[in-house]
DNA sequence: GTAGACCTTAGAGTTCCATCTAAGTCAAGC
DNA sequence: GCTTGACTTAGATGGAACTCTAAGGTCTAC
């Protein structure tokens, strides 16, 4: 069994975020110990990792909650959950396609700058790479 | 010359959003007509399309503003702008890689559901595909 | 038995991005 | 000259996803 801090470390979420997810109903499967503290099992961890995966691929928390709700309802919702994942796969493929398209635009822009100016000159070496993920 | 409504239609942004971007300093190149209304040139449109491209690939508005500010400073900032685009290209490639990795997780999940249940059965036909883009 | 580290809660605050409201200006058509 | 409609502004509001604060409970070690 893991504490909230363990999960935070293992899943790369802050403890705040984990509590927030719980409050939002994303973690109804998490149990408590005698003193009311959350305790997470290995399978809870797996579920949280799946939640992160869905979130990182652009699924909204309320949609993830819908998935979790189905999960809690039992095996008879498997076809429905599968349906959601199939839809989400399509969404991810769309995103990848879109990113690849936009990548082309940026490539063109870079090529333009390459042509407009000498190879490696830079007026502003302190420019750090954008931090967006 | 295009009105704000034209640009809204041509770029898929609401007029609110265009004004908001202007207020945020993303459109310093836009001129006004006699009565104070914004008028957009063809090259303004191109710039707005680039802004959309950067935004859609996860660049924050303040980072985009930094790019626009450099653009307004003139050609001597080209190496710096190129640097930004090179960094952003790396960011897009990271995003694509990440999505592809997560796609694998979802594929596995679907395969699991496929195994757990009959081929095309579905308990919940009204499930629409997730709308996240 | 008390200090320190950990947890709990409710609820406030923050950031980002966008959207809307209210009040007003301007130009064209009747 | 008045209505209509598109535009302007400042600033309020919204929602998504956190992030933090305050007040307090519980366990362990000394």
Per-residue pLDDT at A116: 85
- The continuous run of DSSP H or E covering A100 comes out as helix A78-116
Pick the closest to residue A57 from A21, A15, A91 (CA basis).
A91
pLDDT, tens digit (0-9, with 9 covering 90-100), for A41-96: 999 999 999 999 999 999 999 999 999 999 999 999 999 999 999 999 999 999 99
Q: What are phi and psi of B17, to 5 degrees?
A: -65, -40
pLDDT, tens digit (0-9, with 9 covering 90-100), for B74-94: 999 999 999 999 999 999 999
Per-residue pLDDT at B121: 45
Task: Name the A residues in 12-51 with CB < 8 Å from any B CB.
Answer: 50
Q: Is the dihedral of CA B2, B5, B6, B12 positive or negative?
A: positive
Confidence band of B125 (pLDDT split at 50, 70, 90): very low
CB–CB contact A103 B96 (8 Å):
yes
pLDDT at residue B2 greater than cutoff 50:
yes
Strand segments (E) across chain A? 31-32, 38-39
Judge whether residue A34 contacts strand D, using its CB and a 7 Å cut-off: yes
CB–CB contact B122 A80 (8 Å):
yes
- Best mutation target among B68, B82, B95 (most A Cβ atoms within 10 Å) is B82
Report the residue from A83, A90, A117 with minimal CB separation from B124: A83
pLDDT at residue A125 greater than cutoff 60:
no
| Chain B residue with minimum CA distance to A47 | B109
pLDDT at residue A124 greater than cutoff 60:
no
Report the residue from A102, A123, A127 with minimal CB separation from B57: A102
Sequence-separated (6 or more) residues with CB below 8 Å from residue A119: none
CB–CB contact B96 A91 (8 Å):
no
Strand segments (E) across chain B? 31-32, 38-39
Per-residue pLDDT at B116: 85
Judge whether residue A19 contacts strand D, using its CB and a 7 Å cut-off: yes
Adjacent-strand bridge partners of A2: A40
Provide the percentage of residues in chain B whose pLDDT is more than 70: 87
Task: Name the A residues in 52-71 with CB < 8 Å from any B CB.
Answer: 53, 56-60, 63
Looking at every residue in chain B, the average pLDDT score rounds to 90
Q: For B104-114, what is the mean pLDDT?
A: 97
pLDDT at residue B118 greater than cutoff 90:
no
Per-residue pLDDT at A54: 98
Adjacent-strand bridge partners of B40: B2
Give A37→chain B minimum CA distance, Å: 30
B chain contacts of residue A85, beta-carbon cutoff 8 Å: 106, 109-110, 113
Any idea what DSSP says for residue B34? T
CB A20 within 8 A of CB A27: no
pLDDT, tens digit (0-9, with 9 covering 90-100), for B46-61: 999 999 999 999 999 9
pLDDT at residue B128 greater than cutoff 90:
no
């Amino acid at each position: 069994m893991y504490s909230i801090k363990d999960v935070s470390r293992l899943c790369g979420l802050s403890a705040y975020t984990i509590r927030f997810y719980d409050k939002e109903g994303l973690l109804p499967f998490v149990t408590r110990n005698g003193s009311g503290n959350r305790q997470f099992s290995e399978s809870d961890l797996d579920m949280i990792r799946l939640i992160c995966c869905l979130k990182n691929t652009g699924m909204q928390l309320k949609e993830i909650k819908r998935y979790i709700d189905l999960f809690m309802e039992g095996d008879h919702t498997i076809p429905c959950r599968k349906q959601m994942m199939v839809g989400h796969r399509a969404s991810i493929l769309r995103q990848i396609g879109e990113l690849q398209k936009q990548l082309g635009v940026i490539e063109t822009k870079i090529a333009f700058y390459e042509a407009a100016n000498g190879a490696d000159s830079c007026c502003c070496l302190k420019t750090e790479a954008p931090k967006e993920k």
